[in-house]
Structure 1
């Protein structure tokens, strides 16, 4: 190779570069650096690499000048690492995380040739994640990084400032405080002399000054192409590259420490006799000597077990599914966990996997791994949640805990609790300075001493080990500012405990039986009372007319009695939170719960019950029955699995499911349902509360109009009616209804127009929009776009590319016609359907009502609901 040369000949500019695997060029023939080392052409020391056409791998962002000085480095640079060059050259040594001025590496000449110069610290410019046989080595100033950047292998110092031993370990790249694997846990190194290498015979060893080497793999035959790679799973694997299948000779996953990773095993290899288990650290700071706990797989019961000094401490219970045990399941959050148990002639093991690891070194959350902590709990390092032995504090047996063995002085109610306070005693405390004792060992010793009432670690012993035992009485500091100790909370004697438990149980059962009898008798009386109230209540003329119209021989009382008898059966399970239930025959139902706080009284309840029972149309929700019990009144509908339209159209993720074809089908379905109410049902019905929340969607996303509690019935010849009580939802009510209390079929047409514009745009009517600084609601915004000749801008971006532009514009046109200020200018629903489905020329829309939004910012669209007595903000027509 040619002698290294000074690259920068004149001031240059800063650049950002992404460095990939670089070939080494010797006399114009490219070959890898590994081959160069093996051939002797590129021994340790300076080397020069050239890459033609740097634009294939480099991104440039020039920002300033540098002084052109050379840079020496003391580490190799992984070829996959992102190098961000934007700092000045001061001659200081470089670590991997520092920034390098790109002029040190780049010489821009006519051939766009890249020159790479490095000093004697370079071990491999080709493989940041791999250690090669016969030349590569890893020392205290170098690391291996997995290709995905999640994991780092290197030397780290653990323990107190006094011990500060050096360990070869693997850690998550964002957190070096607790490596999840340690190679030399039993033999920590006192200084920085540790070196990991694969010798010429294929043996992988950790050598250091003043001690015997730690040998991980001893080759039985001469091998010439052995590599050790840190994989994306966090597994450090030794392979024979010459074998056809890249035979695995050794891997760190076979020798876990205290952390369980996806793909790692717990169990036994029957063929080799090797077992896989975790062993906790002694404390948060001390990995050596090993802690009190082990985490194992019970192959006979198929359960996870935590042992403390070989005594069972906690069990998960048998594996019940691929996601849970009896007493253990992971809260997966945004990852899909899966538990696996494989039992065969060779192996019997447990492992877990995740569907995707979505984290990078730049992420804020840890990679998914389960750590056996020094206190016997299992911690999910990604979420911070703890499982397993967290609740095991003495005689507690909840959540899989085993009762601690101890003397008779420890009752069934005794347990350890961490509390702030101090001890008042004439008995001096005792100390045990054994640095091999963890806090769990201290608890166990105290538990077996009937005089001991509390324990903590030794304050003057490094690394939170050793024990201090307390006697006498404990005074708690409720402020929490005092020193914390683990205190044995005293319980009652076992005999007295059982007496109180029996007495309390008998008393409770007796009281519950009496209460049940009283409830049953009261329920019978109230049932008849509410039935009579429902049948004798004076209602509006339209309700009375509905009761008698066309059904002179119909016995309303008998029908309601049948419904009540059906839906008050105890076997029906109503879940009030979800408003969903199931009938004895397996049919799912939806329950509308009307209480005093719902804003609807008995008149509205009766109105909806009688009215909707008369209606039959595919775009109207079907009423199955009712339930009256105490103050509760419920209407039972057919179950709509997709809930209401507003849960789709206004949800950023779910509205993608509604393409334009489906949206137009929903618009047509709503229009057909309204036409039936206005014209083809036995009575002319005005809904008065048509909105997205009252449009339910079945399993095929077909729309069904619901909520008829505010509906009014017209005689065939009636055109309009007046009311002093304004009911409805802000934004959907027509101007003549809001201002004068006048309602007609044109009131529903206005509401339909607003709903149509919401479906097209994916925006709520209450959305605060602006044009030229003027606040507008959705109707006003649509009108301004129409006047400007750009109504297509209203369309939801999700469907803008795939929709029929002519059809969408026709829908917007019809929507504006439906929200005309004057009711006489609005079309009837039969005309609306004709306009939507034909290509006939449409009349030009006029200025709509309520196009400004003066007070809209004061309202929360998510809380908008139907109202009875409306207190309206003043709205102005433009």
Structure 2
């Protein structure tokens, strides 16, 4: 009141000047609307009605150039739209105005126009900033209200690097408008960068990410629920996805399930496509999804008729009925030459057939044809009638619609879940072959230690008819050879056998209600023996096959090993053509189903995660030191750690394990097996494995459990590399606690967490002799006040962060003479 009292005594002229100056430096021009004759000056803002968004002038980091942009009020440094991205203003004297005909104009410090929206031909135009961050130009009523109806111009039709909820991404076929998004050139320059994501209308429409003019990532066609190349999106319930195809428009759009959720999809200057959501509690953007996430996401890594599987090593294999075009390059792990048919098709005599490739990202559809009016059976018949047809698939994941390929199949990859069935045409001579590629499956809710070798239950002579449960001695089973042959002669390991009637009764005749899923070797069913014993039954498909070594390895080891943190095989059933393995049932699935799932991850608080880490350590210590046989697991990973009803961990999958004699410290193999990302450097590169190889895998697991991130396929903007490199970088800068999964930060013990991170880093040190033994690990985990040595840098550090370095690393790896293979089944 005193201020107004004093102002009241000022001369009128002085008061008028005071009001003019105050208006000039006001951060807002009085709301969300811009009208002719009232420009927006640098330093002023438009604020949307709900105060959700703002529009004004800004400068990116490390530059004084000025641009007009839009941002969310919660994060003013995150720009979601830029008007004059190619025409910066060098001084803070620019302005934005709307002309009498509805044209938006930006002028520089010399009042020179540097950007305009184009004429809208309106009589009484106004521009308004909406709460969805859309800046629109419309006709105004005489009372100042906005006239309902279509906009004459809107910023959402001209996106920059960001797609927001409610924005259309794609084509208006009537006007020819193409809405795509292009990265910034750099964090300090919003000019168009090298990465552009657009909707390709050729064939079955699909989204493609370009690097300059080259395809970098193909999102795949729409399958009725999502795009074929992003199966992860359906695991999250935050987004509502929509795809529209009609005579007027073809576009993609997403929304959030709640208006309170602030989200954006962006192509950043490094070429990563990220979905982000704003976390109010931590006042930061959280990366929901990031693509490309692994080498198989990059376009056509394995060439024509090649299949990419990031969990295999090497990642490229040929489709069934095909062989490498260049065996020499294939041996060097360069698969981009692709594959060629073993036998040419014989359309004239009608003997061709199809092989089903499950869980795929459908091949490039740009040269495919689509008929959305027919079903899968008609699609198959149509393909057979067309001698040029190479494959077919459903256009929609529900089995309707038809996609037909008449050219080479390129850019095929497989997933552990969420992919689609692809039906590849083969000559009759190739239909009976086993596919050159196998891919992992994660079957929910069961323990399958290893399904390797199930088919050979019949070939090793243990198929017998039983009407009640019996036991057979494996020592009496003949087989040609085994890598652990010192244990095969004269040794009796009891293998329980169940008769077929018992299994049929337990699974309600393999009812669909009891089906838990389907893996690479057949379906898996839940069952009940009696009133209390829950079981998981893996029923082998007739076309599956595996090696005798892996099967015998699994059976012998599980029969000999007993520990609360190891999986338990209950027996098998082999009757007639049936071949089944029976395991204890695990209601909480595998560890990876929790720690890598944003929603389920919150169910594992810190104490539960720490108990899991300790349990795995105890199980591994038993294998290395305390069991009657000294075991090297060789495939320790999150999907091979299974959780019982109390979340106790159990190590599974012993098909690749090796038995060590007491006098052996390390072995060398020409057949490297395991999963890339968990294999130690000396094993992956030189085939040398020991107990320290398992210790390395355990260290990876520890860091994954704590962070909730995979060692492979992550994208961390602050540090380029895999999880090990990221954890090491944080630790070296004294920021180790930042590694902890944000979803458990409220329940965590900082002392335990930092101690566990340090133990993990000690386990993944590059040199095997530097890594602790599992007995030391167990002590370090239980001794929270122990003084631990400082870890040295981890193996595979630094690692690849782009397709270029990926290729380089593959070539480096190929210098090894070892034959590489990988665990190919992850049944659960």
TM normalised by structure 1 equals 0.38
**Larger RCO of the pair (alpha carbons < 8 Å, separation 6+):** 2
Greater strand content: 2
TM normalised by structure 2 equals 0.40
| Max Rg structure | 1
